Amino acid sequence: MEKRILGRTGLEVTAISFGGLPMQRCTLDEAGPVLHAALNAGINFIDTARAYTDSEEKIGRHLAARRSEYYLATKSFARTKEAMVKDIGISLANLKTDVIDLYQIHNIQARKDLDAVLAPGGALEALQEAQKAGKIRFIGVTGHSVELLIEAVKTDLFSTVQVPFNFVETKALDELLPLARKMNIGTIAMKPLGGGQLDDVDLALRFILEHDITTAIPGMDEVRHIEQNLAALKNFRPLSPEERAKIEHEIAAVGSSFCRRCRYCLPCPAGVDIPQNFIFHLQYTRYNMKKTIPARYAAMPGKASDCTQCGACEERCPYDLPIRERLKKVAADLG
C-alpha cells in the first residue's frame, strides 16, 4: 500500500488513513472489529480528537495492544496552557499510551483562536512542554479557514496542517498546500468525502491521491468503509476525461456551501439534530426520496420546526452556513 512521508515528522503514513470522528456512532463492542480491520488492511495512521466524545476511549480500549502498528494523532480545542495540559493527560489515559505521535491544535476558526494558542500561557506552550517531556512527538494545527492556517504555517511552529480538501473544496491548492510543501510540513486532508456529501467515494479519493497531499482521513465506522476507501488506493489510476466530467457535474449539483456533518453546531439548545435534518432534506430533494423520508423525518426527535432561531449554531459553524434559514426550508418542506 502506498505510503507518504508526513513532512518534517519523517513518519511514513498510508496515503489513505483512518478518520476517527464516526467512531462515536459505534458502541464500544461495534468499534473493535472496525479498528482491527483498519490495521489488518494496512492502515497505519489513526486520527481522532478529544471532541469526538468517546472516540479516543474506543481506540485505546481496542488497539492499545497493537500500539506499535500505527501512528496516533489526536487534537484538542484547548486554547490555554492549563486546559491543554489537562487534555493531553486525558488523551494519554484514554488512548492507553505513553506517547502520542501527533497532537494538534483543533480548529483554528477565528483570529482570537490563533492569537490565544500562540500567546504566553497559551495551548502551544503546553504542547511544547509535553513534547520535551516525551509525551507527544509532533505538534500540528487544524482548521477550516485556509487563510488562518496559512498564517499558522508561516509561524514555522507546526509539523503538520490538517485542512478540508476534496474536489468541491480546493481552496487549499492556491497557497496553503504549496507553502506547506515548501516548508516540509505534512498535509492531512480532512473531509475528503465532503462529510459524506460526495456520492462517488472512488472518484473523490482518487482526486485527492492525484495531488501532493500526505494523507486523507475519511471517517470510518463500518468494516465495509475500510474496504471501500482503500480500493481507491490499491487500484489507483488517474481520472479519465469522463470521470472529470462526472466530478464537474457533481460540483455543480452540490455547490460549495453545504453541511459537512462535522457537528460543531451541536448541541442545539432546542434539541434540534441539525446535521440529520439536513441529511433528510438532501435525500428528500436531491435524491427524490419523497415516499420514505417524510415518515422517517416525522419520527425523528429534534425536527427543524423546533428551532427557536437563537443562532448559537451559526456562531459555532466553521463554514458560516446560514443554518437558521436552511432549517426554515427543511421545516417548510418536511414539517
Shared-domain flag, residues 225 and 282: no
Q: Which of 195, 219, 239 is the last residue of a domain?
A: 239
User: Could you tell me the pLDDT band of residue 288, with boundaries at 50, 70 and 90?
Assistant: low
Residue 256 has pLDDT above 70, yes or no: no
Average pLDDT over residues 24-39: 95
- Contacts with 332 (C-beta within 8 Å, 6 or more apart), sequence order: none
pLDDT of residue 290: 84
Instruction: Give the residue with greater pLDDT, 295 vs 6.
Output: 6
Task: Please choose, from the candidates 309, 11, 32, 50, the residue with its C-alpha nearest in 3D space to the C-alpha of residue 187.
Answer: 11
Give the Cα separation of 129 and 132 in Å (integer): 5
Give the Cα separation of 109 and 114 in Å (integer): 8
Its domain, for residue 282, covers 274-334
Shared-domain flag, residues 233 and 286: no
- Domain membership of residue 159 (yes or no) is yes
Shared-domain flag, residues 290 and 155: no
Average pLDDT over residues 43-54: 95
Shared-domain flag, residues 125 and 81: yes
Q: Could you tell me what percent of the chain has a pLDDT over 70? A: 98
- Domain membership of residue 246 (yes or no) is no
Average pLDDT over residues 300-316: 94
- Domain membership of residue 142 (yes or no) is yes
Residue type, 35: L
Shared-domain flag, residues 51 and 135: yes
pLDDT in tens, 96-147: 999 999 999 999 988 999 999 999 999 999 999 999 999 999 999 999 889 9
User: Domain count of the chain?
Assistant: 2
- Domain membership of residue 80 (yes or no) is yes
- Contacts with 78 (C-beta within 8 Å, 6 or more apart), sequence order: 50, 84, 86, 87, 123, 126
pLDDT of residue 283: 72
Shared-domain flag, residues 147 and 198: yes
pLDDT in tens, 151-184: 999 999 999 999 999 998 899 999 999 999 999 9
Residue 119's CATH number: 3.20.20.100
Shared-domain flag, residues 43 and 163: yes
